[in-house]
Amino acid sequence: MSVVDRGADEVLLGFTRALRAAGVPVTHDRAHGFLAATATLGLDSQRATYLAGRATLCGGPDDLERYDQVFTAYFDGRDGLPRPRPAQQGVPGFSGLPDTEATGAGESEQEDEVVRAKASDAEVLRHRDVATLSAAEKHRLTAMFATLRPRPPARRTARHQQWHRGQLDASRTLRASLRRMGEPGEIAWRRRRVRPRRVVLLVDVSGSMSGYADALLRLAHRFTQVGRSGGGVVETFTVGTRLTHLTRAMRIGDPERALIAAGETVPDWSGGTRLGETLRFFLDRWGQRGMARGAVVVVFSDGWERGDPSLLGEQMARLHRVAHRVVWVNPHRGKAGYEPVQQGVLAALPHCDDFVAGHSLATFAELSEVISRA
Amino acid sequence: MEPSNPADIAPGDLAQRLGATGYLCDDALATVTYLALKMQRPLLLEGEPGTGKTALAEAIAEALGLPLVRLQCYEGIDATQALYDWDFPRQILHLRALEAAGAAGGPSVEEAEKSLYDARFLLARPVLQALQQSPAVLLVDEVDRADDEFEAFLLEVLSTYQVSIPELGTVRAATPPIVVLTSNRTRELHDALKRRCLYHWIDHPGLEREVEIVRSRAPEVSEELRLQVVRIVQTLRGRDDLQKPPGVAETLDWARALNYLGTAEIDLAAASATLGALVKYREDAERVRHALDQMLRS
């Protein structure tokens, strides 16, 4: 780093700080790499510094775009550094179970009654439509999401693992006997290895779904967290007027913080629905290349399509050809008198493997069953 | 070309040398490649399929006169496919030979056992090969297809450039190989791996550069046809309704295909006959045929 003097170092590090403030995750070793790269190229030209930073400080196409903006702003001394969006208002921070005050040993009959009443209350809440809940009820329901234990779906891979029964593992058996200088010994067995299948959640956050968005993102968060602990991958996107990759936000452990992060990431809350177009974008950018390939894809939407329903049908057909299984979750499906008559639903239904309800905690639990069996 | 020490190359020189092999790159890519050589850091390339990620590794190897070792990643790849394995049948054969010789007073059991794990029974897989042959270019192709565990393993090798084999000891590269990783972004790579690497996103080339590329890669194609092909491809890439917009590889294929048919100027018949070289989906073919019809008429 001898080429770069102290003053220049400070300027360059100041730039990494500005970049961090603009939302590019610049770590210390990345910043260090940047200094080393500029030292290699020399500080004579701004273009060299620009290229050195691009190579060392960025990790994806999203970063590159921000990088360009910050670089111009910082080194040309112009205003207008992109700032992180202010935190969305109205996402409350809760903690703890709200209805667990009754933890004392319920000796008297009266206390027993209270506990029982609460339990059945919770049972009722499980079946209530989440869009119709009051703020207090929602608050209680959030804690109940922790009771969902979705199992990631499994697939058998081409590879084998040692097992105590199954197929004969000739190679391992021979290897073991070789280790004993050719003496025969115990026979090894193997079976096809089982790996969790990827789950892709596409959550419609358009206006008609706004009552469900909060609950569905909580569900997505739960899936992501439980899936991760089981070694599986759950990818979450929101669809509406545009497609937003939410997996990073959903990986934050604390559900409230994850939801706040999601709120900051998604730009089109309660906008219109152009499901066909966003689906096409998803398939072009992510799905066809592997994100949806062989995965269980779950679409959460009520099917109120503003765009061309035939486009939606075409894209659902594409999705169906790429994915292992396509599950459509409709919040209205479980309600009395519901008929799938919306044009969007009609166009999409022929290309779905499952069409399930999704308006209450109980239906979410059923959905997790459908996914784990897929 | 004589093998050259990567550390001795000047930045401008590198682009020129790559150009001499037929790989034309802009100053951004040339600079980041130069940095990768100088800083001895792996180079992570992302971008649309067919923009020349893999070709860059091949070009670097050719330009510097170094051997290219290629590791194709796939789901379920593990360390034995990337590093080394023991040649089991030959070990058995060796054992049988020892047995036969044993009757006439061959080696003791310990010696026999030791001789089984000799370097000659070692099958070096790409990563080990690259370390042994270094200086070399190691291409880790489509790293996004491999699993997380494999990524962690790669990270370990790429940070130390050494591999330890319990029976033989540690293999360390005298000079770290030049490592090029490519990814199609089917999944997000781990941050730890990305941080080790220099990152570059390769875009589709502009009109002029693409014409240059066709000129250098398919010199048999006439000037006129070349320009026409590239114009059409660039227009098609601008459309947003194609499932798989054509990459540079498709441009080259199409130009060559048209040339084989003796086409001097593209008409709808020649284009339809060769469309399979350009687009790979039935729906896309329909759309492109329609667009071409309009383009050629106007």
Residue B55 exposed, middle or buried by CB count within 10 Å (0-12, 13-18, 19+): buried
**pLDDT at position A94, please?**
37
pLDDT at A125 over 90: no
Query: At residue B69, does pLDDT exceed 90?
Result: yes
Distance, in Å, from the CA atom of B90 to the CA atom of B112, rounded to the nearest integer, reads: 14
Of B31, B76, B201, the CB nearest to A61: B201
Checking if the pLDDT of B9 tops 80, the result is no
- Helices and strands per DSSP (H, E), number in chain B: 14, 9
The pLDDT of residue A87 is: 38
* Among the ranges given (A81-85, B57-61, B275-279), the one the predictor scored with the smallest mean pLDDT: A81-85
H or E stretch at B126? helix B126-133
> Searching chain A, which residue's CA lies closest to the CA of residue B77?
A159
pLDDT digits (tens, 9 = 90+) for A287-312: 877 888 889 999 998 887 777 888 88
Assess whether pLDDT exceeds 70 at residue A98. Answer: no
Length of chain B: 298
> pLDDT tens across A222-274, in order?
888 888 877 788 999 998 888 888 888 888 888 888 888 888 888 877 777 78
Q: Do the Cβ atoms of A327 and A371 come closer than 8 Å? A: yes
Residues of B in contact with A291 (CB under 8 A): 186-187
Say how far apart CA A228 and CA A290 lie, in whole Å: 19
Between the CA atoms of B70, B73, B78 and B83, what dihedral angle is there, to the nearest 10 degrees? 10
Interface mutation vs chain A, best among B186, B190, B193, B204, most A CBs within 10 Å: B186
> What is d(CA B92, CA A181) in angstroms, rounded to the nearest whole number?
9
Residue B21, helix vs strand vs coil: coil
Count of residues making up chain A: 374
For B69, the token pair is 């070792």
pLDDT for A141: 82
3-state class of B182 per DSSP? Answer: strand
| pLDDT of res. B59 | 93
Lowest mean pLDDT: which of A107-121, A209-223, B37-51? Answer: A107-121
pLDDT of residue A104: 42
Q: Measure in Å the smallest separation between the Cα of B75 and chain A Cα atoms.
A: 9
pLDDT above 70: percentage of residues in chain A: 86
Confidence of residue B4 (pLDDT cuts 50, 70, 90): low
pLDDT classification of A62: cutoffs 50, 70, 90: confident
With 70 as the cut, is the pLDDT of residue B1 above it?
Answer: no
Contact B263, B228 (CB under 8 A): no
Q: Out of A64, A171, A288, whose CB is closest to B201?
A: A64
Q: How far apart are CA B232 and CA B241, in angstroms?
A: 15
- Pairwise pLDDT comparison (A174 vs A289), residue with the higher score: A174
Banded model confidence at residue A118, pLDDT cuts 50, 70, 90: low
| pLDDT average, residue stretch A125-147 | 80
Q: At what angle do helices B223-238 and B282-297 cross, to 10 degrees?
A: 120
Three-state DSSP state, A360: coil
* Residue A101 scores a pLDDT above 60: no
- The verdict on a CB contact (< 8 Å) between A58 and B184 is no
CB count within 10 Å of CB A79 equals 5
Name which of B49, B116, B199 is nearest A59 (Cβ-Cβ).
Answer: B199
Read off the tokens for A185.
């010994």
Which residues in chain B have Cβ-Cβ distances shorter than 8 Å to A55? Answer: 31-32, 35, 198-200
Q: A94-103, A107-116, B7-16: which range is least confident on average? A: A94-103
How far is residue A222's CA from residue A217's CA, in Å, rounded to a whole number? 8
Domain spanning A199-372: CATH 3.30.460.80? no
Cβ A30 vs Cβ B195: under 8 Å: yes
Does residue A98 or residue B190 have the better pLDDT? B190
Cβ contact B88–A175 (<8 Å): yes
Residues of A in contact with B92 (CB under 8 A): 174, 178
Tokens of A28: 């210390």
* A6: confidence class by pLDDT, cuts 50, 70, 90: low
Output the pLDDT for position A214: 86
Residues B123/B163, Cβ–Cβ less than 8 Å: no
Going by their DSSP bridges, the two strands A244-245 and A234-239 should be labelled as antiparallel
Q: Coil, helix or strand for A33?
A: helix
- The C-alpha atoms of residue A130 and residue A211 are separated, in whole angstroms, by 7
Would the pLDDT of A90 be above 50?
no
Higher-pLDDT residue of B1 and A319 is A319
DSSP assignment of A54-90 equals HHHH--SHHHHHHHHHHHHHHHTT-S-PPPPPPPPTT
Contacts of residue A59, Cβ cutoff 8 Å, sequence gap at least 6:
A25, B191, B194, B195, B199
Highest mean pLDDT among A102-111, B8-17, B272-281: B272-281
Report the C-alpha gap between B98 and A96 in whole angstroms.
70
- Shortest distance, CA A257 to any CA of chain B (angstroms): 21
pLDDT value of residue A285: 84
- pLDDT of residue B105 exceeding 70, the answer is no
* Spatial CB neighbours of A180, under 8 Å, sequence gap ≥ 6: none
Mean pLDDT, rounded, of chain A: 79
Q: In the numeric block, which tokens belong to residue A248?
A: 């990073």
Residue A276 and residue A311 in contact, taking contact as beta carbons nearer than 8 Å: yes
Q: What is the mean pLDDT of residues B176-187?
A: 89
Comparing A159-168, A192-201, B211-220, the range with the smallest average pLDDT is: A159-168
> Which of A29-33, A112-116, B242-246, B248-252 bottoms out in mean pLDDT, i.e. has the lowest?
A112-116
Closest listed residue to residue B163, CA positions, set B117, B194, B129, B120: B129
Query: What is the pLDDT averaged over residues A103-119?
Result: 51
Q: What's the pLDDT score for residue A115?
A: 56
User: What confidence tens digit (pLDDT) does each residue in B118-169 have?
Assistant: 888 888 999 999 999 888 999 999 998 888 888 888 888 888 888 888 888 8
- Mean pLDDT (whole number) for B218-232: 91
Q: Out of A17-26, A50-59, A269-278, which region has the weakest mean confidence (pLDDT)? A: A269-278
What are the structural domain ranges in chain A? 6-74, 154-196, 199-372
Half-sphere exposure of A154 (CA within 13 A, CB side): 7
Residues in A closer than 8 angstroms to B109, CB to CB, are 181
